[in-house]
Structure 1
Amino acid sequence: MTTLDLGPLVLGGNAFGWTADRDASFRVLDAFVDAGGRSIDTADVYPAWVPGNSGGESETIIGEWFTSRGRRDDVVVATKVFSLATRPGLSPANVRAAADDSLRRLQTDRIDLYYAHRDDPDVSQEDYLAAFDALVREGKVREVGASNFTADRLRSAAAVAASAGLTPITVAQDRWSLVERDIEDDLVPTLRDLRIVEVPYTPLASGFLTGKYRPGGDAVESERAGRASSYLERPDAVALLGVLDDVAAAHGVSVPAVALAWVRQQDVVAAPTASARNPEQLEALVESFTLELSDEDVARLSSTTAG
């Protein structure tokens, strides 16, 4: 079980250095912490997919913000290793080197939550768990997370850590939203059994659950518009929009605030992870901080997209 206090929402850093430049990123970070947010998620690979970037830009911006604002001790920071082309995989040497690179870019002496961004079938679990454990023992990392692992691999990692006396995985991060619910079948029961908390990514389904995408509606200009609009091909997802509208109106809040609250109120979830490219986008995220849906609201939303 994690000891980290992630707050009601984790601010995703994938937009920093991509759709938000340094100044815009600083404004988002300022507004998030001023509103009571206290955890930030990034990865060494963010956003290497942007032409001209090489990865590490998000961490660098966050590190510069820490130093500029003096707010490092006010937030929990999470980052990840595996996917950066120059630091690929989970070999022990790479885990250590990537952690040191991230610490330098983040301008900090510790990573509060260090994720394996993917599982690595080419490295034994004992080897890479031992590498994470060494970082914990040295004070460079506080807790270990696993992103995009299968239920079976989480179970085997837990068994290996227990047998070898290594730091266990305490946090998982996976795709989960009202329209992406595959993890509920196998992974969620495993998380309950292992007492691992979930910090879902894309809880707004690439923007679809903001309510901006509607059948016959105007095209939305966004880097994620293609994926988001694809949900309009699903009758259950279209029906969900109407339910979200109803619940949002009943609470006097925005549609994305409802979608985020639904994720946050799942029993294994510590907090959802969502990003914003400007303070205006952040408003709906902040609105979700204190929104509590009724059991009836949760059940109605859940039944609309139940498999």
Structure 2
Amino acid sequence: MSTQTQARTVIGDSGIEIAPLALGGNVFGWTADRETSFAVLDAFVAGGGDFVDTADGYSHWVPGNSGGESETIIGQWLASGRDRDGVVIATKVSTHPEFTGLAAANVQAAAEASLRRLQTDRIDLYYAHFDDAEAPLEHTVAAFSRLVDEGKVRAIGVSNYTADRIAEWFRIAREGGYHLPVALQPHYNLVERDFETNGLREVAAQESLAVFPYYSLAKGFLAGKYREAADATAPGASARAEGAAAYLDDRGRAVLDALDAVATAHGAPVASVALAWLRQQPTVAAPIASARNTEQLPALLAALSLELSPEEIADLTAASA
């Protein structure tokens, strides 16, 4: 793996600079144990990555887990001699079983709990993970801004919000003199393209939000791992294989064919091409992709420097139309 990247990007107007690939921490404490997670994090940084994305709720859905496992593992990794200043950490609030929703007091308490688990003095990018209709948005906006004022958070992001609610957040923030969000995390990839038409891309462009799509590889489908339905139940298939296999229709196979053609032309893995397509879309700062072992990392890291031609981007876009 290369020790250098060919490009850098900045998270909105935060001044926080990153390599244009985020390592998803959702697998830490779920399909990757502590030792494997440490190895993945070390290899990611050695390969030129520096941006790690997690959430306080990861991975409470796993039997025996209570939430916060991913943050805890990342915190232990940081505390074991890694360079905190060399890594940008993003986490989120609203899904931890003990800290659900976005009431102001909950946002404050959840952030402090995340800081303890991460064993750090600041969260680089803090997301409102899911909109909370029960919490007055004015209170949520003020709570996030207060965390920035306190130095506990460097920058604010929103995830899984509608375009209208994001616009409302900005209106409240401007009227109240609060810190503005700089990042947006939506569901977006080559086979999930609602982001382009539901108003989110428009508001991201209007407000100069750095976009970090999740499920960038469509649960592994866009890595080319699932060509037949039987692949989802084969030994060693991931916990998300069934979701990936759902894309195995005529459109999905057309996308795989287009990915195969571009991958062959570049001598690159299919996953690298899918991530490069996403990275080169308007408003996208970096795709988020997870690796449950070090063997999956080279294909992700290769996307840092893979540049697709306009014709290749057009072919892939047309295949998934």
SS at match of 2:18: coil
* In structure 2, C-alpha distance between the alignment counterparts of 1:238 and 1:24, rounded to whole Å: 32
Structure 2 residue aligned with 1:200: 213
The answer as to 2:177 corresponding to 1:162 is no
Select 2:245's aligned residue among 193, 213, 229.
Answer: 229
Aligned residue among 258, 262, 265 for 2:273: 258
- Counterpart contact for 2:94–2:101, Cα < 8 Å: yes
Matches within 5 A, 1:273-288: 273-288=288-303
Residue 193 of structure 1: how far off its partner (Å)? 1.0
Provide the identity percentage: 54
Q: Find the residue that maps to 2:248 and give its secondary structure.
A: helix
| 2:229/2:245 contact within 8 Å kept | no
Distance in 1 separating the partners of 2:123 and 2:56: 12
CA distance in 2, matches of 1:249, 1:70: 37
Report the 3-state secondary structure (helix = DSSP H, G, I; strand = E; otherwise coil) of the residue aligned with 1:202: coil
* 1:196 partner amino acid: L
| 1:125 CA displacement | 1.5
Structure 1 segments of 4 or more deviating over 3 A?
215-220
TM superposition shift of 1:248: 0.3
SS at match of 2:142: helix
Q: What CA distance in whole angstroms lies between the structure 2 residues aligned with 1:255 and 1:140?
A: 39
Q: Which runs of 5+ in 1 are unaligned?
A: none
Which one of 308, 311, 315 corresponds to residue 293 of structure 1? Answer: 308
The one-letter amino acid of 2:222's match is L
Matches within 5 A, 1:117-128: 117-128=129-140
In structure 2, distance between residues paired with 1:8 and 1:290: 9
Other-structure match for 1:28: 40
1:148-201 Cα deviation digits (max 9, x unpaired)? 000000111111111110011110001110000011102111111111111000
1:244 aligned onto 2:256: no
CA distance in 1, matches of 2:129, 2:254: 33
> What's the TM-score once normalised by structure 2's chain length?
0.93
Q: Match of 1:18, SS?
A: coil
Instruction: Quote the residue 2:8 is aligned against.
Output: none
- Code of the aligned partner of 2:293: N
Distance 1:149 1:76 in 2: 23
2:289 maps to 1:267 = no
**Structure 1 residues 301 and 62: CA distance shift in structure 2, 3 A:** same
CA contact (8 A) 2:155 2:181 kept: yes
Quote the offset at 1:218 in angstroms. 3.9
Q: Secondary structure at the match of 1:195?
A: coil
Q: Return closer, same or farther for 1:218/1:153 CA change in 2, 3 Å cut-off.
A: closer
SS of the aligned residue for 2:303 comes to helix
Q: Which amino acid aligns with 2:291?
A: A
SS in 1 for 2:215: coil
Give the C-alpha shift of residue 222 in structure 1.
1.6
| C-alpha separation in 2, matches of 1:270 and 1:134 | 26
Secondary structure (helix, strand or coil) at the match of 1:250 reads helix
Counterpart CA distance in 2 for 1:198 and 1:84 is 23
Alignment of 1:210 onto 2:223:
yes
> 3-state SS of the aligned residue for 2:91?
strand
- Whether the 8 Å CA contact 2:24–2:54 is kept in 1: the answer is yes
Structure 1 position 217, deviation (Å): 5.7
TM-score w.r.t. the length of structure 1 is 0.97
The letter of the residue matching 1:209 is: L
Taking the aligned partners of 2:207 and 2:164, their CA distance within structure 1 comes to 12
Alignment size in residue pairs: 305
Q: Find the counterpart in structure 1 of residue 59 from structure 2.
A: 47
* Alignment of 1:37 onto 2:53: no
Whole-angstrom CA distance in 2 between matches of 1:51 and 1:283: 30
Instruction: Quote the residue 2:189 is aligned against.
Output: 177
Q: Which amino acid aligns with 1:304?
A: A
Change over 3 Å in CA distance of 1:304–1:66 after alignment to 2: same
Deviations 1:227-262 (A, max 9, x none): 1001013x1111111110000000110000000001
* 41-50 vs 207-216, which moves further: 207-216
Distance 1:168 1:189 in 2: 17
Q: Distance in 2 between matches of 1:72 and 1:263?
A: 28
- Contact conserved, 1:103 with 1:111, CA < 8 A, in 2? yes
Distance in 2, matches of 1:90 and 1:303, equals 39
Whole-angstrom CA distance in 2 between matches of 1:6 and 1:70: 17
Contact 1:118 1:148 in 2 (8 A): yes
Q: Look up the SS of the partner of 2:308 in the other structure.
A: coil
Question: Is the contact made by 1:6 and 1:270 (CA closer than 8 Å) also made in structure 2?
Answer: no
